[in-house]
Structure 1
């Protein structure tokens, strides 16, 4: 059986199978981008604090965790249902949905516990 050949990107060149090297995808190191992480955690802490004012709770780490989870839940609500707060300011719209998501996270945690 003759060896298989492949067409090259150049029209006049044929590449044999033995010359083709299949490599796994390159693994890029997951670099921490602090310019994204710090504002996200700060925003999450603030929204978690506002949510805890509404339904109760305390602790800085708890505010941060609940706020970041609340941002994810709030954005999930926006993507699934299309509901969105409309204040005229994008930052306040996102903050409102994050606070709503954080309130839901707190209430769900209390329901489970």
Structure 2
């Protein structure tokens, strides 16, 4: 059987199967604290703002609701295309995250 070849991202280079190295999966989860800490910190602020609007409390609850709100807010943006237009991308993202956090709080109250 003749060896197969694969094309690389560079169109002028062909990579043979013998040159491809398959690495085993990692046994640990790579965790980048430079991403996690700002995400949780902004989630805490967003959860606090959302709880000021609809009520609620607790430091951990603010952080969890804020991070979930960021995910829901970005999901709303991707699904519907709705976006706040303040002129500042950070405020646009934060506003959609607060809206998502409010929806998370209301949904949790509806379920409970």
Q: Of 3, 13, 17, which residue of structure 2 is paired with 1:6?
A: 3
Which residue is equivalent to 2:84?
Answer: 85
| Bigger radius of gyration | 1
Could you tell me which runs of 5 or more consecutive residues in structure 1 were left unpaired when the two chains were aligned: 10-19
In the TM superposition, 1:1-113 aligns within 5 A as 4-6=1-3, 25-28=23-26, 29-113=28-112
Task: Normalising by structure 1, report the TM-score.
Answer: 0.79
Q: TM-score, normalised by structure 2?
A: 0.80
Rounded to whole Å, the distance in 1 between the matches of 2:5 and 2:35 is 43
3-state secondary structure, aligned to 2:108: helix
Unaligned runs of 5+ in 2: 7-17
Q: CA deviation at 1:40?
A: 0.2
Structure 1 residue ranges (4+ consecutive) displaced by more than 2 angstroms after TM superposition: 4-9, 22-26
Shift of 1:94: 0.6
Structure 1 equivalent of residue 9 of structure 2: none
How far residue 31 of structure 1 moved from its aligned partner, in angstroms, is: 1.5
